[in-house]
Amino acid sequence: MRLQAPRGTSDQLPDDQTYWDLVRGKAAQVASTFGYRRIETPMFESADLFERGVGSTTDIVEKETYTFEDRGGDMLTLRAEATAPVCRAYLQHGMHSLAQPVRMFYVCPVFRYERPQSGRYRQHTQFGIEVIGEADASIDCEVIEVGWRYLEAVGLSGLTLVINSIGDAECRPAYVELLKAHYSPHREEICEDCARRIDRNALRLLDCKNAQCQSFIEDAPASADNLCADCESHWEDLRRYLEETGIEYQIDHRLVRGLDYYTRTVFEISPPEEGRMVTIVGGGRYDGLIEQLGGRPTPGIGYGMGLERVIQNIQRQEVPTPADDRARVMVVHRGDAAKTAGVRIASQLRRDGIAATLAPPRGMRAQMRYAASSGATHAVIIGDDELAKDVATLRDLGASAQSEVPLAELASALLT
RNA sequence: GUGAGCGUGGCCAAGUGGCAAGGCGCCAGGUUGUGGCCCUGGAGAUCGGGGGUUCGAAUCCCCUCGCUCACCCCA
């Protein structure tokens, strides 16, 4: 095989589109039900945006971006995540002067240079939402609910919602010190990565997967137990509101997230896979991000959802996809005059709003085969007999029944 | 970045040193103008690529590329 799609990318073939239509259509539908409006930002941004927004020491920025210099000498980065670009757009277009909060959603490709594996690609598609300009916990609850209702809407079940609060600029520093103090005496007993994390990114100590570190994680102080008064009441509010939605949640003190900008609420939604649970949705509050990007202090919260993972789970759970029961017609013809008439009839059917295709110029048997394998619901058969009478033979391929229909009545016969 | 498994027509796949099976799909037929089932025929292969061993390599050895899975990280 000489030419193929670049590593970690894939083609979304015609046969795959049933899923993509479902997954994209429901995204727009559910998001707009909650009052979110679509935003689309460029596929690439100034490299600077992701460094400042996502955090220059995160893995994403450190080793996973597609960064390049364009012909004019600017350093650009393919969209490595969508929150920072949306915040950039919020600032650039003065959305702070709109009624707050501003609710937006997007479905867009995201690029990260990673080693591909199941559910992880170098180009993947995210359905995400962002609410900017309101810090109240009811918004946190709403954002979580959008993600949850969406996954319900596409037909997934058995999902798990996990939440946590990691505090804010007020209380997190003290908590991080507490964590470091918990770990420092054990530097020799934990894994190498964790030893490094103590100084570099202490929060990440909590999601280490190594066996030797598990007992330290168990005994570690929890961020949610060490919140300042404001964060504490925000955390309580969130849980109270969540109860009102009827969505079940678990609190996981080990849930921290990989992007630097998160504050207070963080959450994930995962499918019911035994063994490894690959997160479908990950999100959280980012009250410091807008300011980090040069705006006035403005709260925000959102999530990102991997649509390839959603589709993977739809397939695993064998969720039925909606069938398209509209008529699709194959115009089958015999003889030159009939072929010419077929061109005319197919054209007219389309103008009448019916999907119609002219069968390829082969024997009738082959044309009928083509009709069947193309998924056509009906064959409109034209030959000299029909031409003479100004009718067509309309064959219902599902029912294997046919009758002659005057050409003028074809469309109405197909629309009933 | 680390580790493991795997690369044979479009897809699935047999073949483990001696003429590259088979199935699906595709194309054409099975006497008058009709799909799905059945039957017949046909097209389609640098056996991922390069090098080596050998009289002879899809098969053994080396290198390389790719795919998949796991770690890491993340959606």
- The CATH architecture to which A328-415 belongs is 3-Layer(aba) Sandwich (3.40)
Cα-based angle A41, A46, A48 (whole degrees, multiple of 5): 125
Could you give the percent of chain A with pLDDT greater than 70? 97
The interface predicted TM-score (ipTM) is 0.86
Residue A400 CA distance to nucleotide B72 C1' (Å): 57
pLDDT over 90 (residue A200) = no
- Alpha carbons A399 and A416: distance in angstroms, whole number: 15
The confidence band for A202, taking pLDDT boundaries of 50, 70 and 90, is confident
pLDDT over 70 (residue A57) = no
**Cα A233–chain centre separation:** 31
> Token pair of A245, please?
């939605």
Residue A403 CA distance to nucleotide B39 C1' (Å): 30
Residue A363 CA distance to nucleotide B32 C1' (Å): 14
Residue nearest to nucleotide B27 (CA to C1'): A366
pLDDT over 50 (residue A47) = yes
Residue nearest to nucleotide B71 (CA to C1'): A209
- Map residue A105 onto helix, strand or coil: strand
pLDDT over 80 (residue A56) = no
What pLDDT does residue A193 have? 76
pLDDT, average across residues A324-333: 91
Q: Which nucleotide is nearest to A83 (CA to C1')?
A: B75
Q: Write the single-letter amino acid at A67.
A: T
What pLDDT does residue A203 have? 84
Residue A415 CA distance to nucleotide B25 C1' (Å): 33
Q: Which nucleotide is nearest to A257 (CA to C1')?
A: B74
Mean pLDDT of chain A: 91
Nucleotides of B under 7 A from a protein CB: 1-3, 25-30, 33-36, 46, 48, 66-75
Higher per-residue pLDDT: A14 or A299? A299
| Domain ranges across chain A | 14-171+227-316, 328-415
- Map residue A159 onto helix, strand or coil: coil
pLDDT tens for A349-407 read 999 999 999 999 999 999 999 999 999 999 999 999 999 999 999 999 999 999 999 99
Superfamily assignment of A14-171+227-316 in CATH? Bira Bifunctional Protein; Domain 2 (3.30.930.10)
Cβ atoms within 10 Å of A110's Cβ, excluding its own: 19
Higher per-residue pLDDT: A318 or A296? A296
Task: Return the closest-CA partner of residue A265 out of A145, A127, A184, A112.
Answer: A145
CA A225 vs CA A117, A165, A229, A284: distances in Å = 36, 9, 11, 18
Residue A281 CA distance to nucleotide B22 C1' (Å): 45
Phi, psi angles (nearest 5°) of residue A107: -130, 115
